[in-house]
Homo-oligomer: A and B are copies of this chain.
Amino acid sequence: MDKTVPSLVAAVSGIGDGATVMIGGFGGSGAPIELIHALIDRFVATGHPKDLTIVNNNAGNGHVGLAALIEQRMARKLICSFPRSADPRVFTDLYLSGEIELELVPQGTLAERIRAGGAGIPAFYTPTAYGTDLAAGKPIEVFDGRPYVQERWLRADFAIVKAHRGDRHGNLTYNKAARNFNPLMCTAAATTIAQVSEIVAPGEIDPEAVVTPGIFVQALVAVADPQQEEVLNRAGARHP
């Protein structure tokens, strides 16, 4: 078994118009910049994929990564918890002009909805957002005298994530807090594409240290020295 894909281009080639795509990361930490840029490059060259629904904690920063994808108007809708950043102009402008839809979800509910999608749990109850605008229209149920909001799972056609090391079976480790949403998104997508700094032989990752077991990963692509969104933005980078 070898889930390695030879190039970034090949890795994102299957993502089609209208797909729901989960993109890992929290701000720039754990954001798969090279995979996002490969997707943007394909769109710039071919006009596809478009009309994407993107799931991410944020809405991008500056003009690279997720912000650059939004700037190209590849996304029809964004599902996120916090569409603010040091430089959120790209999303803000499109949102205020009604050109992109926003589904705002509390961060813990977002994480749990993704986890539920991966775990085959179609709905769950949470105290979060009870009595607020973000629970409007959702079923409420009382357990042990306390009201809870029913939330639905979130699943995707694709997840694109950034990991640290990966073996050819798709077992992954992450670097520090770059873990964040990445392991959850791996579980909730029909096809998960991971960029990793290093692809190793099965057996070279300690079975105790595996964070994402390979069953959740369909494709791996090596990006030896991945770019960091924060560093790119401080340098004023733009993509393309």
A123 in contact with B152 (CB, 8 Å): no
Which of A6-14, A27-35, A141-149 faces chain B? A141-149
Which of A61-69, A71-79, A113-121 interfaces with chain B? Answer: A113-121
Leading 10 A-B pairs by shortest Cβ distance: A122-B143, A124-B124, A123-B125, A121-B124, A122-B125, A122-B148, A123-B143, A209-B209, A121-B126, A121-B125
Interchain CB contact under 8 A, A176 and B122: no
Provide the residues of chain B in CB contact with A126, threshold 8 Å: 120-121
A165-196 Cβ-contact flags toward B at 8 Å (1 or 0): 00000000110100000000000000000000
Q: How many of these chains are in the complex?
A: 2
A208 within 8 A of B: yes
Contacts A143-B152, A152-B143 known; A176 to B208 CB distance under 8 Å? Answer: yes
Contact B127 A125 (CB under 8 A): no
- How far apart sit A122 and B125, CA to CA, in the bound complex (Å)? 6
Interchain nearest-CB distance for A73 vs B (Å)? 30
User: What separation, in Å, do the CA atoms of A208 and B179 have in the docked complex?
Assistant: 10
A88-130 Cβ-contact flags toward B at 8 Å (1 or 0): 0000000000000000000000001000100111111111000
> A209 to chain B: which residues have CB within 8 Å?
208-209
**Cβ-defined partner of A122 (8 Å) among B120, B144, B152, B208:** B144
Closest to A142 in B: B122
Q: Name the residue of chain B whose CB is nearest to the CB of A209.
A: B209
Q: Which residues on B sit within 8 Å (CB–CB) of A144?
A: 122
Distance between Cα atoms of A208 and B176 in the complex (Å)? 7
